[in-house]
Amino acid sequence: MTSILKEEKAERVGGVIHDFDESEKAASRFLDMGFLVSFGGAVTYPDAAELHDIVRHVPLDGILIETDSPYMPLYMQSAEKNEPANVAQVARVLAEIKKIDIEELIDRTYKNFTVLLNIED
């Protein structure tokens, strides 16, 4: 995927890699191109050890959070439809994995969002 993005000169505008679930190497390549990496429901699964390692690797200024509603249920959600309100659970899990306060994660991902969309806060 990075080869296509480079070919199209996507690094000029950056963007978001939605529902990231690739390798640490891929995350680094996307970050180097100016993209943010967005983590969703998959990160809430305790057995997603490789994804948790990637979360630890990605710097806070490279992260966004999402739920991928109404699809991709969070851990222990079973047959329920996912909804945007569950982004709080994704944030809690990310904060735990990164061993930081949830407020720090929320503040940073909010700032990342405003920078991405060029919104003055």
In tens, the pLDDT along 35-93 reads 999 999 999 999 999 999 999 999 999 999 998 777 788 888 766 678 888 999 999 99
Domain annotation for the chain: domains and CATH numbers: 2-116 (3.20.20.140)
- Structural tokens at position 47: 């057995």
Whether pTM > 0.85 for this model: the answer is yes
What is the reported pLDDT for 44?
94
What is the reported pLDDT for 120?
82
Q: What is the DSSP string of 5-70?
A: HHHTTGGGT-EEETT--S-HHHHHHHHHTTEEEEE-GGGG-TT-HHHHHHHHHS-GGGEEE---TT
What is the reported pLDDT for 2?
74
Question: What is the Cα–Cα distance from 103 to 56, expressed in whole angstroms?
Answer: 17
What is the reported pLDDT for 79?
65
